[in-house]
């Protein structure tokens, strides 16, 4: 049995990642965990556990009294995917009903809830048509309801990407009527009635392919202690954190961080952070 990660098939590597995930977050893993998660036989699960031991012999040891493999103090991850973001993403997906608990890698889910957000009505057929158009480099004729017009109207767009602004899903597309790249909310696409070949080049969307770096820091009016707390919240180093964002999504990033208004317009304890390089926020964002 090879212990070289480069020779692992995708399915085997995924199961070994699961073993490591359980070992790290739960402190233990056994054969039945692997069997139940992936529908494996006893022999297959045993083989996976043996393969993982071959890759990381000091990461776990079998506890005969508990009848399970337990994490060892010398544990060092093999797959470099044991970040908090992945754990919390699974937790949120289960809580939001996106991921079934049986498909979640977390064994003992902690109590969890989140501030509710309104459901966004994206029609599956609409999303499929947009994704198909992106894959095929096609233009589609959509009936779109914008805020600037009282009645929906038909227009041809050539989508090339999908984006999420923290609350709503968009497609980034070239609008043939306005001859410019814009954001179109998927929930405002009421109907799609045709498609055609498109010669629009996604690389021409400069705002999508250009990045800005936002430098944020604690609000200067905060006390030294409060500033330290905010630095911890945002993972700042030396009183500063950098956020890399596409220029096409810059408007949404600033709004979500509360940086789209004068920092003096709100109480420092509410505003908490300020933009240290305001020039990075300059730009004319186009959306519908």
> What is the model's pLDDT at position 120?
65
First and final C-alpha spacing in the chain: 57
pLDDT tens readout for residues 119-151:
667 899 999 999 999 999 999 999 999 988 889
Mean pLDDT, range 114-119, rounded to an integer: 72
Q: Is the CB of residue 140 less than 8 Å from the CB of residue 133?
A: yes
How many structural domains comprise the chain?
3
> What is the model's pLDDT at position 284?
59
Supply the range of the domain harboring residue 46: 10-82
Classify residue 108: in a domain, yes or no.
no
> What is the model's pLDDT at position 1?
43
Q: Are residues 190 and 128 in the same domain?
A: yes
* Mean confidence (pLDDT) of the chain: 90
In the block, which residue shows the tokens 């992936």? Answer: 38
Mean pLDDT, range 87-107, rounded to an integer: 87
pLDDT tens readout for residues 164-174:
998 899 999 99
Q: Which residue would you say has higher pLDDT here, 213 or 283?
A: 213
Burial (CB count <10 Å: 0-12, 13-18, 19+), residue 26: middle
pTM higher than 0.85: no
> What is the model's pLDDT at position 96?
79
- Domain termination residue (choose one: 204, 237, 263): 204
Please tell me the distance from the alpha carbon of residue 159 to that of residue 168, in angstroms, as a whole number: 16
Please tell me the distance from the alpha carbon of residue 192 to that of residue 129, in angstroms, as a whole number: 8
Classify residue 107: in a domain, yes or no.
no
* Strands 273-275, 211-218: pairing kind: antiparallel
For position 63, which CATH number holds?
1.10.10.10
Classify residue 29: in a domain, yes or no.
yes
pLDDT tens readout for residues 25-62:
999 999 999 999 999 999 999 999 999 999 999 999 99
Please tell me the distance from the alpha carbon of residue 183 to that of residue 157, in angstroms, as a whole number: 10
Classify residue 96: in a domain, yes or no.
no
Res. 176: pLDDT tops 90? yes
Q: Are residues 135 and 193 in the same domain?
A: yes
275 three-state secondary structure: strand
In the block, which residue shows the tokens 């250009």? Answer: 210
Classify residue 111: in a domain, yes or no.
no
């Amino acid at each position: 049995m090879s212990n070289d990660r480069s020779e692992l098939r995708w399915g085997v590597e995924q199961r070994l990642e699961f073993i490591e995930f359980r070992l790290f977050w739960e402190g233990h893993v056994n054969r039945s965990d692997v069997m139940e998660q992936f529908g494996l036989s006893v022999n297959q699960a045993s083989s996976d556990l043996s393969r993982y031991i071959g890759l990381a012999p000091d990461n776990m040891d079998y506890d005969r009294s508990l009848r399970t493999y337990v994490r060892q103090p010398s544990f060092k991850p093999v797959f470099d995917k044991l970040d908090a973001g992945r754990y919390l993403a699974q937790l949120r997906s289960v809580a939001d009903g996106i991921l079934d608990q049986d498909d979640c890698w977390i064994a003992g889910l902690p109590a969890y809830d989140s501030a509710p957000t309104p459901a966004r009505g994206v029609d599956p057929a609409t999303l499929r048509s947009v994704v198909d158009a992106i894959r095929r480099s096609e233009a589609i004729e959509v009936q779109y309801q914008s805020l600037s017009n009282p009645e929906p109207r038909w227009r041809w767009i050539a989508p090339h990407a999908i984006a999420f602004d923290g609350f709503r899903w968009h497609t980034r597309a070239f609008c043939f009527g306005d001859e410019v790249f814009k954001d179109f909310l998927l929930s405002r696409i009421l109907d799609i009635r045709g498609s055609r070949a498109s010669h629009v080049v996604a690389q021409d969307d400069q705002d999508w392919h250009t990045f800005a770096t936002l430098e944020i820091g604690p609000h200067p009016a905060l006390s030294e202690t409060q500033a330290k707390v905010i630095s911890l919240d945002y993972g700042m180093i030396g009183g500063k954190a950098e956020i890399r964002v596409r220029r096409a999504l810059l408007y949404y990033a600033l709004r979500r961080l509360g940086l789209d208004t004068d920092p003096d317009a709100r109480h420092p304890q509410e505003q908490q952070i300020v933009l240290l390089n305001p020039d990075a926020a300059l730009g004319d964002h186009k959306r519908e």
